[in-house]
Structure 1
């Protein structure tokens, strides 16, 4: 690495800047979540907000993509989402299966289109 950075110092930066802030919020959420009753209005609200955020990210990737994804036709992007959701449902609601299926569809479509 250049600039006097060693692998150890780069790893330390990743841990301090990337991992710890996220882990602090996760720990606080666990502590706060212990006091929230299952089925409460607050829990329903949190689930609704999380679902809305995920839907917004997917919509952005579909209809206003950037980078290489912007070169892919809309039909291919929609097909990848549909295929990913289908794989998710077919493989016991596996997020991993859904992501892999969606990526495979995008890669196959990209290769077929010559991108």
Structure 2
């Protein structure tokens, strides 16, 4: 029996493909990371490098969201975006480095003041 292109026209085929491709692209690397991370020291050069690169990527994304936003965030004025980041950072320090509190406070400031500026109920 040979498989043809038309046999891939079943309703379930895209879901199976997403399941397999999603697992392969995501979970395989997570499992490999867990297996290999047990052998790394927190002070090793490679671990320090990976942490540095990850921190730089997050900082770059945050800078882009603040200074070059796209979509609806681009409609908010710069001072409002900077104020929400400052409020989130202050909440982060006030809550003893709780990231969830910082995100919630930053978003509350951004959305609350933006709603007040544009006159939303």
Q: 1:15 to 1:97 in 2, by over 3 A?
A: farther
Distance change in 2, residues 1:24/1:72 (3 Å): same
CA offsets, 1:8-30, max 9 Å, x none?
Answer: x97x7876565663332222111
Distance in 2 separating the partners of 1:87 and 1:97: 7
TM (norm. structure 2) is 0.76
Partner of residue 50, structure 1 = 54
Once residues 74 and 95 of structure 1 are traced to their aligned partners in structure 2, the CA distance between those partners, rounded to angstroms, is 23
* Between 19-28 and 46-55, the greater mean CA deviation after superposition: 19-28
Provide Cα deviations, 1:53-73, integer angstroms capped at 9, x if missing partner. 010000000111011100001
User: TM-score when scaled to structure 1?
Assistant: 0.79
Residues 1-115 of structure 1 mapped to structure 2, 5 A cutoff: 21-114=25-118
Relative to structure 1, is the Cα distance of residues 68 and 19 closer, same or farther in structure 2, using a 3 angstrom cutoff?
A: farther
Larger radius of gyration: 2
Structure 2: gaps of 5 or more residues: 1-10
- Structure 1 regions of 5+ residues with no counterpart? none
Q: What value does the CA root-mean-square deviation take over the aligned residues?
A: 2.4
